Amino acid sequence: MKNNKKILISGAVLLIFYAMAWYCIEVRDVQVTETFWALLPSLIAIVLALITKEVYSSLFVGILTGALFWGKFHPVAVLNHVFRDGIISVISDSWNVGILVFLVILGMMVQLMNKTGGSLAFGRWATSHIRGKVGAQLATILLGVLIFIDDYFNCLTVGSVMRPVTDKHKISREKLSYLIDATAAPVCIIAPISSWAAAVAGFVEGENGMSLFLKAIPYNYYALLTILAMILIVSLKISFGPMKKYEEEALNDEYWAKKEYVGAEDTSLKVNHNGKVIDMIIPIILLIVLCTIGMIYTGGFFKGETFIDAFANSDASVGLVLGSASALIMTIIFYLFRGVITFDDAMDCLPEGFKQMVPAILILTFAWSLKAMTDNLGAATYVAGVVAGSAAGFQAFLPCIIFLIAIGLSFATGTSWGTFGILIPIVVNCFQNTDYNLMIISISACMAGAVCGDHCSPISDTTIMSSAGAECVHINHVSTQLPYALTVAAISALTYIVAGFVRNAWISLIVGIIFTVITLFVIRSMGSKETAS
């Protein structure tokens, strides 16, 4: 009932806003392209999602808002823009289709691992070998750090492998989602052999992109401090914000009885209780190895390119599809050879795995469509102008300013790669021939801010897939993760101010580490006082 009131109030406010927007755009002929108006569709979607706790309708309203601005409230133009230029366009894009196919194949592999009893066997093994909640969470972090090739692959693989273990130890799905999300993009952005390194290198013109990426790693304070913060939060048993409530609820059976926390797999499919740990380990190894081969293949490794150059030139979308499809076929053959599944049952798992990924696919499609709306309205050009205009002064504060702008852009658009594409060329152009060291720091600030905004945004594909991997309610993941991410973001912003003055990565990093440790101990102390009172 309370949520219905929020929805009605939000609807009324939106109608008033649309009436005002119609007057400004249609009657007063106010320019909406390449202005702050271009960011409003994403901001509206984010605010609605946080208020109503419903992501599908919020994303669609954001898409509709962008189309209304673009079509100047003319019904036919608006409908064309929503569907032809938006939804149909993004699901026709070859890169996006590749990611969707990759998601579907991973869903199928997860279903096969569940059916053969591999997941169950790993859960039993992990329960006996991984001691306590801290051990389960540290194991999740370790696995997330090891799978650094690609964030999409990371989210769904870590989720499928560790979910049975964390469930056994009554770790909330919200906490699992946070651990997955915080070891996805933050790890990939500091891994030279990853799809993210390839993307960043591709956005740099006039310089060796991979060389710049390597030099920027020590300055990527958000990624480095996020990993440190995770380890401290788990080791010191720190919980704060909405996460604390869910962690306490997860100790009770009522939490796990809720429909949204029941596993997405079809329980009508009889699970093989004679499965072994190898039935999960082998498919995961196949995925890692074959996805790596698929990516370097698309980058020309087998045509003479070096391993690093092949990664830099790879097409992650195609490479992940080739690798995961090969892994799926080999996994089915392996299971049939082992006799843990029949061919008919294996084929039954394929549509079930597809269904498991439908919510993530729907949210991703809407998120991509929303990005298309903001792109058409010229959000990138507007932000580029803001950044270029601020580059003249405040030299020492510029890394922090770029970090904050990158957070805002990535949060509003839900894409860190898009933020790289907008800001990195601007940073290179500003400092390429003036201050090389400041260019390195600023590029790293751009990457760190983009990852931070992506980490916080409810419309980010990585955030969406972290929820899917943990089988957690998406908006719960967003609201519980936000205080953790913003805490590290604030510390990182201060660290970038220090870096702007001292121009030394290691001194600044030590300062950031000290800030992080002190902040988390203060939060822990405050939490202990609240419990005592």
Element (H, E) at 237: none
Q: CB-based contacts of 186: which residues, under 8 Å, 6+ apart?
A: 222, 223, 226, 227, 451, 455
Does residue 110 lie within any of the structural domains? no
Report CA dihedral (116, 330, 105, 348) to the nearest 10 degrees: -50
Does residue 349 lie within any of the structural domains? no
Q: What percent of the chain has pLDDT over 90?
A: 18
Residues in the chain: 533
Given pLDDT bands bounded at 50, 70 and 90, which one contains residue 232? Answer: very high
Given pLDDT bands bounded at 50, 70 and 90, which one contains residue 471? Answer: confident
Q: What angle do CA 159, 163, 166 make, to 5 degrees?
A: 130
CB 184 within 8 A of CB 144: yes
Rounded to an integer, what is the distance from CA 96 to the centroid of its chain? 15
Mean pLDDT of 425-441: 72
Tokens linked to 129:
């070998």
pLDDT at 347: 92
Q: Which domain range does residue 9 map to?
A: 1-92
Q: For residue range 74-84, list pLDDT tens digits in order.
A: 989 999 999 99
- List the end-to-end C-alpha distance of the chain, in Å, as a whole number: 32
Mean pLDDT of 12-40: 86
Does residue 26 lie within any of the structural domains? yes
Does residue 139 lie within any of the structural domains? no
Alpha-carbon distances of 79 from 366, 528, 533, rounded to whole Å:
15, 54, 56
pLDDT top residue among 29 and 347: 347
For residue 408, give the nearest of 375, 456, 369, 366 by alpha carbon.
456
Q: What percent of the chain has pLDDT over 70?
A: 83
d(CA 123, CA 115): 14
d(CA 337, CA 461): 36
Q: For residue range 168-221, list pLDDT tens digits in order.
A: 888 889 999 999 999 888 888 887 766 566 566 656 655 656 667 778 888 999
Given pLDDT bands bounded at 50, 70 and 90, which one contains residue 333? Answer: very high
**Residue 348, pLDDT above cutoff 70:** yes
Q: For residue range 161-181, list pLDDT tens digits in order.
A: 788 788 888 888 999 999 999
What's 258's DSSP letter? S
pLDDT at 197: 65
d(CA 335, CA 346): 9
Does residue 517 lie within any of the structural domains? no
Mean pLDDT of 66-95: 90
pLDDT at 268: 44
Q: Which of 31-35, 175-179, 416-420 has the lowest mean pLDDT?
A: 416-420
Mean pLDDT of 257-265: 55
For residue 298, give the nearest of 89, 150, 90 by alpha carbon.
150
Does residue 524 lie within any of the structural domains? no
Does residue 326 lie within any of the structural domains? no
Tell me what the pLDDT averaged over the chain comes to: 81
**Residue 15, pLDDT above cutoff 50:** yes
Mean pLDDT of 1-12: 73
Does residue 85 lie within any of the structural domains? yes
**Residue 159, pLDDT above cutoff 60:** yes
Mean pLDDT of 354-380: 79
What total number of domains does the chain contain? 1
pLDDT top residue among 409 and 331: 331
pLDDT at 267: 42
